[in-house]
Chains A and B, each alone.
Chain A
Amino acid sequence: MELTINGTKHQVDIEPDTPLLWVLRDELGMTGTKYGCGLAQCGACTVLVDGQSTRSCVTPVESVAGTEIMTIEAVADDPIGQKVVEAWVSNQVAQCGYCQSGQVMAATALLKQTPKPSDDDIAGAMVNLCRCGTYNAIAAAVRDAAQA
C-alpha cells in the first residue's frame, strides 16, 4: 500500500484495517502523533487527511491510501501550521505536552478551513482532551494564530 505522508510517498506492507496511528508510530517511526485512548475520545492522535482533522487511532490505513496525510512532524513546514506553532510557543500552551501534537493539528485544520474563526468556531473545532487543562491557553493561541 502506498501512503503520502508529509509530501513523501511510503510503501507499507500491513493489514489494511490497521489504524493509521500505529502505521505512523510503529511502522514509520513517526512518534509525534500520540496514542491516548484508541477510541476517538481524546484527539491525541489527530492528523490531517486532505486538510481535514482526523483521529488516526480509528482510521483504517486502507481508507487513507491516495490521500495527502500531514502529521505534526511537518507542521512547521506548512505556512498555517507554522503560525499555529508560533502561537503555541508564544502563548506557552504546553504543560505535559502529550496532547499538544493533536491540539496543534486540530488548530491547523481549523485555520486552513476557517482562516478567521469566531469563538464559536474555535469551540466547535478544538474539542480534543487535555488532562493538564491547557484549554484557555489553547483558545488564546488559536485566536493569535488567526491574527498572525
Chain B
Amino acid sequence: MNDMRPIAPEVLASENGKPFKVSRRGFLGASLGALVLGVTLPASLTRALAAAPAAITPGSRVAAFLEIRPDSTVLFRSAFIEGGQGIFTAMAQIVGEELDVDPANFVVEGAPPGPDYLLTGGGRFTGGSMSVRMSYDTMRKLGASARHMLLQAAAAKLGVPVSELSTEPGKVIHAASSRTVPYGEIADDAAALPLPAEVPLRDRANFRWIGKPFARLDARDKSTGKAKYSIDQKIDGMLYAAVQHSPRLGGEPGAMQNEGEVRGMPGVHSVHRLPGAVAVVANSWWRARRAVEALQVNWTEAASTASHPMPADFSSAAHMAKLKAASGDGVAFETEGDAVGALAGAARVVEAVYDAPYLVHGQLEPPSALARWNEDGSLELWLPNQAPEMFQADAAKFAGIAPEKVIIHSPMLGGFFGRHFLYQTANPYPQAIQLAKAVGRPIKLLWSREEEFLRDALRPMAAVRFRGGLDAKGMPVALSAVAVGEGPTGRWFGRQPDKVDSSAVEGIAGKVYAIPNRRVGQIHVDDPAIIGFWRSVGHSMNDFFYETFLDELADAGQQDPYELRHRLLAGSPRHRTLLEAVADLAGGWKRGPFVAEDGTRRARGVAMASPFGSEVATIAEVSLRDGDIAVHDVWVAIDPGSIVNPAIIEAQMNSAVALGLSSALLEEVVYVDGMPQARNYDGYQILTPDRMPRVHVRIVESGAPMGGIGEPGLPGVPPAVANALSVLAGKRIRSLPLSKLDLKEVDG
C-alpha cells in the first residue's frame, strides 16, 4: 500500500515517517468485537478469544498471540502474513527478545481474523512496508508482558518473591537456590494470570536478537518443499475447479456450444456459469482446466451498467496518448514558494514528459481459493490474502452470512508485492464460494497463469509533465510537475474529486531536495483497467520520473548529477550522509562513461527516494553490448532509522533491485482491443538470472523513526539505471521499459 495508508479517512492525512494516529475505529466496524468461531481453531485460542472483553486493545492480550508449549517452544500468531519479506522471523526476534525465548524456538503462523490483530493503525493488513514499524513497540510489550506473567507463575510455584527471579532463554531462574523452571512447566499457570499494566522493556544495548542477522525460521521448509501455500491446501472431499474468464471484463457467458461434450470429458463433475466467467468442476485440476478451456463460449459485450467494463476498443497505447495530451495544471498537492513566478523568471526552463506502463504483479504462485461450507452454516476459506479481516467481511457479504461465520485461513504467500488485497474481479474466492455452494462439496479453485494475467490488478500507467527552471549558475530554482492518471488508493478506498490521491503523486511529491519553488499537481483520468497496489505503489514509477528529470536539470545546468544532489541536500544532513554513504559503498562517485577492466564502456547513475518512512540512495553501473543493456552492479544505501534484521534487509534490497530492474528493463502490459496481449511469462518477460546485477547494501541507522523495508529498495533502481543509460546513449530516456529503446547504433 502507499505511504499514506488507505484505512480510514482520519489516518489518510498521516505524513511519511511520522507516527500515525491510531484509529480505534477499524475499517471493519462490523467485525470488531465479533468472536471468532472455534470450528478449526485450537481450543486454547478459542477460549482466549471467547473470553475477550468488549473493548480490546490490539496487541495487548498475550493469549491471542502466544502459546508456550510444554517443551517451552512458542507458537506465535502473527498479525502479518509471511510472503517472503521475512516478517515471521522478525516477529519472533522482537517478541523473543522480550519474552526471553530464542527466536529459533518459535513456530509462527498467520493469525485468524480478530480484534487483537488490528495492529495497522486500527486495521490490519500486510503491506505498505508497515508490519514491523507499526507493531514494534506493541510486540515488544507483548513479549515483556508474557515474561512478567511467567515470572509471577514461577514465583508462586517456587514460593519466592518475583524480585529474586530472573530469566534465561526459555526458563526462569532462582539464583539463590540454583533452581530453574522451564517456561513450558508454568505456561498454563502464567496464562491464567492478569495482564500486567506496566512492564519494563529490555535495554537496547542488551539486545541479543533484535538488530542481528538471525536466520529465517522458514529457510529449511522452503528449501525442501515443505512450506505450504494456498495452492497446496487439501481437505477431505474437495473437488477442483478451473475457470475461463470473459476476455474483456464485464462480458458475460452466453451460449456454450459444446457444453454437452465438455460434460463428458474425463473427470468432469459439472459445468457452471459465473459472473464474467465459466467454470468446470472436476476430480483433478488438470481435468478441470482442460475441460474449461475446451468450452466454446459466446461472450456478450460488457453491459454499460457493469462496474469497470473494459471497452472493446481499449488500447494501452491510446490511453497513454490520452494521458500525455491532458492539459492544465491539475489539482495542487504540494506547493512551496512560487513555482509559476520562478519559472517565468528562470534563466533557463527545461520541459519534459515522462511515462510508465501498466505492470502485472507476476508473483510466482497463481491465486487460488479453497472454500468449504460447514454443517453449522459457517464458511471456511483458505486463500492468499494480505488482510484477513477485509477478506472476511467481503466474503461474508458475498455469501450473505455474518462475518463471524466466515473462517479465514491465511497460508504463506508465494510472493505478493501487493497482489493479494481486495480487488473484487481480481480475487478468485467469490467464484470458489459460489461453486462450493452449487456442488455441495469443498472446492479448490486455481487460476491458471493465463487467467491470472488476464485478471490481475495492474500497476497503473501514468504520465508526468515536468517544467524545471534554472538560475544563471545552473541551479534549479523552480520545479512544476503534473501527474496524469489514477492512483490505486483512490480506486479502492474512495477518491475525493477535489483532492489528490497521494498514491498517484508519492515520489514526485515528498522529495527532499531544496528547490525553493515547487508545485506538484495531479490531473485525474479514470483508468479503464483494474488497477492495484504494486510493490512501492506510486513510488515504483514516480521516483523514476522525478530522479531522471533531475538529471536532465543537472545536464542543462552543466552540473554533475551527484554533485547537484549533494548541493541540494546541504540543509538535510540525514540525506546528505546517505548519498555520501552510497557513493562510498560504490568506491566513490564517477558518472562516466569509462572503460571497465573487461573492456566494456560503462556509466553510472544515481537516484534517491523517500518511500515508506525510509530513505534510500542508489547507484547503478550499466553498459551496452549490441544494444542490450547490462546492469553490472547496484549499490543501495538505506536508512530505515533503526532495524530488526540486517540479513533480511539485505535480502529485501536484493529482491527490490530485482523487481525494480525487471520493471525498468522489461515489463509492460499491452492492451489491444480491450485485451492484454501477454497471458504468460513468454509474452511478459520478467527478470531472468543472467540479468541480475551484483547488489551491495549498506544500512545506515540514523535513529530516525523506524521506516519500512519491503518496498523502499525499489524506487531508486529504475532512475539510477536510466540515468546511467542516458550517459551511454547520449540522449535522455523518458519512458519505460528500456527494452523498447533501439540502442543498436549506440556503441557499447
Q: Contact residues of A with B, CB < 8 Å?
A: 15, 18-19, 22, 25-27, 29, 31-39, 41-42, 44, 71-73, 75-76, 85, 88-89, 92-101, 104, 123, 126-139
Top 8 nearest A-B pairs (CB, nearest first) are: A133-B658, A32-B225, A97-B222, A96-B84, A98-B414, A72-B225, A95-B84, A94-B222
Nearest Cβ in chain A — how far from B40, in angstroms?
20
Nearest B-chain residue to A19, judged by Cβ: B286
Contact residues in A for B692 (Cβ distance below 8 Å): 133, 135-136
Contact residues in B for A42 (Cβ distance below 8 Å): 364, 681
Contact residues in A for B662 (Cβ distance below 8 Å): 133
Asked whether, in the complex, the Cβ of A96 is within 8 Å of the Cβ of B365, the reply is: yes
Asked whether, in the complex, the Cβ of A27 is within 8 Å of the Cβ of B681, the reply is: no
Asked whether, in the complex, the Cβ of B216 is within 8 Å of the Cβ of A92, the reply is: yes
Asked whether, in the complex, the Cβ of A92 is within 8 Å of the Cβ of B647, the reply is: yes
Interface size on B, residues (CB 8 A): 61
The proximity string for B residues 686-710 relative to A, scoring 1 for CB distances below 8 Å and 0 otherwise, is 1111101011000000000000000
B689 in complex: contacting residue of A32, A41, A139, CB < 8 Å: A139
Give the residues from 648 to 697 in chain B that come closer than 8 angstroms, CB to CB, to chain A: 651, 654-659, 662, 680-682, 686-690, 692, 694-695
Nearest Cβ in chain B — how far from A142, in angstroms?
11
| Complex Cα spacing A22 to B219, Å | 26
Interface of B is mostly: loop
| Complex Cα spacing A18 to B289, Å | 11
Contact residues in B for A32 (Cβ distance below 8 Å): 224-226
| Complex Cα spacing A136 to B285, Å | 34
| Complex Cα spacing A98 to B415, Å | 7
Number of A-B residue pairs with CB-CB distance less than 8 Å in the complex they form: 167
Contact residues in A for B232 (Cβ distance below 8 Å): 31
Contact residues in A for B249 (Cβ distance below 8 Å): none
Contact residues in A for B657 (Cβ distance below 8 Å): 133
Contact residues in A for B582 (Cβ distance below 8 Å): none
Q: Is B464 an interface residue (CB 8 A)?
A: no
Q: Is B85 an interface residue (CB 8 A)?
A: yes
* Contact flag A38-B449 (CB < 8 Å), given A19-B286, A96-B363, A132-B415: yes
Show 29 residue pairs from A and B whose CB-CB distance is below 8 angstroms, ordered by the A residue: A26-B284, A26-B285, A26-B286, A29-B234, A32-B224, A36-B364, A41-B680, A41-B682, A42-B681, A72-B224, A75-B225, A85-B220, A89-B215, A89-B220, A92-B219, A92-B647, A92-B651, A95-B415, A95-B655, A96-B412, A97-B222, A97-B227, A104-B224, A104-B225, A128-B689, A131-B362, A131-B659, A132-B655, A135-B689
Asked whether, in the complex, the Cβ of A85 is within 8 Å of the Cβ of B682, the reply is: no
Asked whether, in the complex, the Cβ of A99 is within 8 Å of the Cβ of B223, the reply is: no
| Complex Cα spacing A1 to B680, Å | 31
Q: Is B337 an interface residue (CB 8 A)?
A: no
Asked whether, in the complex, the Cβ of B415 is within 8 Å of the Cβ of A96, the reply is: yes
Contact residues in B for A89 (Cβ distance below 8 Å): 215, 219-220, 223
A130 in complex: contacting residue of B86, B223, B364, B682, CB < 8 Å: B364
Asked whether, in the complex, the Cβ of B219 is within 8 Å of the Cβ of A39, the reply is: no
Asked whether, in the complex, the Cβ of B215 is within 8 Å of the Cβ of A100, the reply is: no
| Complex Cα spacing A37 to B689, Å | 17
Q: Is B266 an interface residue (CB 8 A)?
A: yes
Q: Is B382 an interface residue (CB 8 A)?
A: no
Contact residues in B for A75 (Cβ distance below 8 Å): 224-225
Nearest Cβ in chain B — how far from A123, in angstroms?
6
Nearest A-chain residue to B446, judged by Cβ: A35
| Complex Cα spacing A123 to B686, Å | 17
Contact residues in B for A130 (Cβ distance below 8 Å): 364, 658, 689
Asked whether, in the complex, the Cβ of A133 is within 8 Å of the Cβ of B687, the reply is: yes
* Contact flag A97-B655 (CB < 8 Å), given A89-B223, A133-B692: no
| Complex Cα spacing A44 to B364, Å | 8
Q: Is B373 an interface residue (CB 8 A)?
A: no
Asked whether, in the complex, the Cβ of A97 is within 8 Å of the Cβ of B285, the reply is: no
A98 in complex: contacting residue of B223, B286, B364, CB < 8 Å: B364
| Complex Cα spacing A36 to B447, Å | 11
Asked whether, in the complex, the Cβ of B364 is within 8 Å of the Cβ of A129, the reply is: yes
Nearest B-chain residue to A44, judged by Cβ: B364
| Complex Cα spacing A25 to B219, Å | 22
Asked whether, in the complex, the Cβ of A39 is within 8 Å of the Cβ of B680, the reply is: yes
| Complex Cα spacing A39 to B223, Å | 23
Asked whether, in the complex, the Cβ of B414 is within 8 Å of the Cβ of A96, the reply is: yes
| Complex Cα spacing A55 to B224, Å | 17
Asked whether, in the complex, the Cβ of A100 is within 8 Å of the Cβ of B234, the reply is: no
Nearest Cβ in chain B — how far from A108, in angstroms?
11
